[in-house]
Chain A
Amino acid sequence: MLSPDTRSDEEGPVPVASSNPSSAVRLREILSSIKADKGAMVGFVIVAIFVIVALAEFVAQSTGFLLAPYNPIKTNVGPQYAAPSLAHLMGTDNLGRDVFSRIITATPNDLGVSFTVIIFALCVGAIVGSYAAFHGGILDEALMRVTDIFFAIPALVLAMSIALALGPGITNMTVALMIIWWPPYARLARGEALKIAHQNYIEAARLSGAGRSKIILRHVLPNISLTLLVYASLDIGTVILVYAGLSYLGLGIKPPYPDWGQMVSAYQDFMLSYPWLPFFPGLIIALGVIGFSLLGDGLKNTLTS
């Protein structure tokens, strides 16, 4: 007799239950399906450009080499308030600095903060969440309640309060975001771990005498990592937005060093006469976030279908 959940028994072609292909095969599948999805492809290209620029600029900065066309900090590299032109792609600011160069210089900061925060949240969240799921009891309850508390304070507001205690600056902001960013990941990891906790291969590992840590490391983390990664890929954009907000509020990197959000707030005063000044940094933030969310959407569709 059929069990109730075999209802799709003859609705035509039934999707083949995915066996567990090797990760290399999996990666190739993902790449090819991203190629097929126009939106994801656009996202991929945007993200690739941002990441390449960030990496190149990072290398350039640490070797003292200048990647941007002009020195981003030096004043009067061009006339003041120049409109966008071939010499100054995004114009120049009130101090005659090249806006395009400043945006490029800021790229490794902005992307660096988001990747650091996301990777930290991913690791801490996955471990704490799956451990809580398997340990159960007080630890689990404590995790749920702590995350409840974190959910009640907007990330930006909490980061602001933490900034008051730690002081502004890019490092402190990264730390503040790291502190508040992991709870959703722990929640997600816990839920996913609970889903697989009673599956046969976990039971088998348990019966064969594997310890809790070993089960989590060997069996749970590899199985929940995909869901977490998809969530993280969609989340990178959010970190960029929140960090842009903090830097707009003057809590990020200290001037004269540039940051996208800080540039918008600095150029806001000139927006009536020179609207492109705050427009370009704002556009770059939006573009970066769009890129990451398109790519994340594409990954989600590929991996969850």
Chain B
Amino acid sequence: MEKEFDRSVSLTSSPSQSKENELLRISNLSIAYESKHANLLALDNIDLEIGQNRLIAVVGESGCGKSTLALSIIGLLAMPPAKIMNGKIEYKSINLTALKEKDRRKFRGTEIAMIFQEPLTSLNPVYKVGDQIAEAIAVREERKNDRSMDLESEVMQRTYKVNAPDMPSRLPRFKRGGLTKLLRDEVLQVLKQVRIADAEQVIDRYPFELSGGMRQRVMIAMALAQKPALLIADEPTTALDVTTQAQVLRLMKELIDEVNTSILLITHDLAVASQVADRVIVMYAGDIVEDSDVYDLFREPLHPYSKGLLSCIPVGSKDKAKLKPIPGSVPDLSKPFVGCKYASRCPFAMEICSKRSPRLVEARPNHRVACFLYSGESR
């Protein structure tokens, strides 16, 4: 029910949604990787906002900056080499980029959680699955109890959602008599929530004893156990086989309303995005080139790059002949660049495309695109 309400709001209002529904707002964000030889601009003036209970997919090919975007939101970008050149990331109206690491940390997990591409290496090999989830729960509980003592308590109280039963706040002691009954029950509950049927067995397994799909479910369970408002999923299904991939995607879709969270799905695969996302953001070489409702994008992609990407998806056997790769390659991001970064590969390139860079404008209702074809600036 809530979902329906949400969608109607997002469909009728402009992309810059009302403040109440807004979870995350990124404005003018530029991030570069600095090295001795060159600075590589990974994100170039990104503008983006994310509402509540949505599944938004960020699509782009390798190196387009989507992982940089994800890591910068959760604050796990290694700095250096990465450096925020300008812009801010506002989460529930709090500017995360201005916070110290100590305060920044308090948003991780319980507010913004993240799951990664490789569930095997992303889980600690020497601890049981249950212990690792219990640890996540303990972080949540610890914060709930400690937040009144925080320096930033006002901020934290404003942002924190209290909806979990009271739990011991101490971090669980691993391997010493195991977990307390209360904690164990909650872990089991979370495991069941991600549709793990034999949760009683899985809880005592080590990560390497589980299948790939199971591991990724555990990763999702661990993230959801902290009841985050925003879950970033960085290529969560890339390492999985196709069947498992579909199951995990369906699970994520179902969980959005069940646990009251938004998901930012990072993927290189438009097909994955089309299966689950409400909204798709297409990135190219550090720019957002198109930002649209999923139906609109697949019905009528505006940006030439999105069109190219769509023609790369095999749709039924008949279309095999139409399957064509995009010619050319991404420009060198370590050099200053003038003009549209896609111009060299674009079949519709005009004179202006190599002189100025297009801004992201709303070409249709709820459909932003960065291309001179739609900006009315072309001559």
Interfacial residues, chain A to chain B (CB-CB below 8 A): 1-2, 4, 6-7, 9-14
Contacts and interface: CB of A to CB of B under 8 A. Distances in A.
A9 B269 CA distance: 13
Interface string B52-65: 00000000001111
Interface residues of B, number: 20
A11 B82 CA distance: 10
A10 B66 contact: yes
A12 B269 contact: no
Contact of A9 (B35, B40, B42, B63): B63
B238 A1 contact: yes
Given A12-B42, A13-B33, A4 B65 contact: no
B81 A4 contact: no
Interface of B: 33, 35, 40, 42, 62-68, 81-82, 117-118, 235, 238-239, 268-269
A12 B42 CA distance: 7
A10 B239 contact: no
A169 B152 CA distance: 75
B33 A10 contact: no
B40 A12 contact: yes
A13 B238 contact: no
Contacts of B40: 12-13
5 contacts: A1-B238, A2-B235, A7-B117, A10-B67, A13-B35
Nearest to B117: A7
A2 B245 CA distance: 13
Contacts of B42: 10, 12
A16 to B, nearest CB: 11
Contacts of A14: 63
> Which among A2, A6, A9, A10 has the greatest number of chain B C-beta atoms within 10 A?
A10
A6 B67 CA distance: 13
A147 B75 CA distance: 50
B118 A7 contact: yes
A9 B65 CA distance: 10
Contacts of B33: 12-13
A1 B63 CA distance: 15
A258 B268 CA distance: 70
A4 B238 contact: yes
Contacts of A12: 33, 40, 42, 68, 81-82
Contacts of B82: 12
5 residue pairs, one from A and one from B, having the closest CB atoms: A9-B62, A12-B33, A10-B67, A4-B239, A10-B63
B81 A9 contact: no
Contacts of B35: 13
A170 B81 CA distance: 53
Contacts of B269: 1
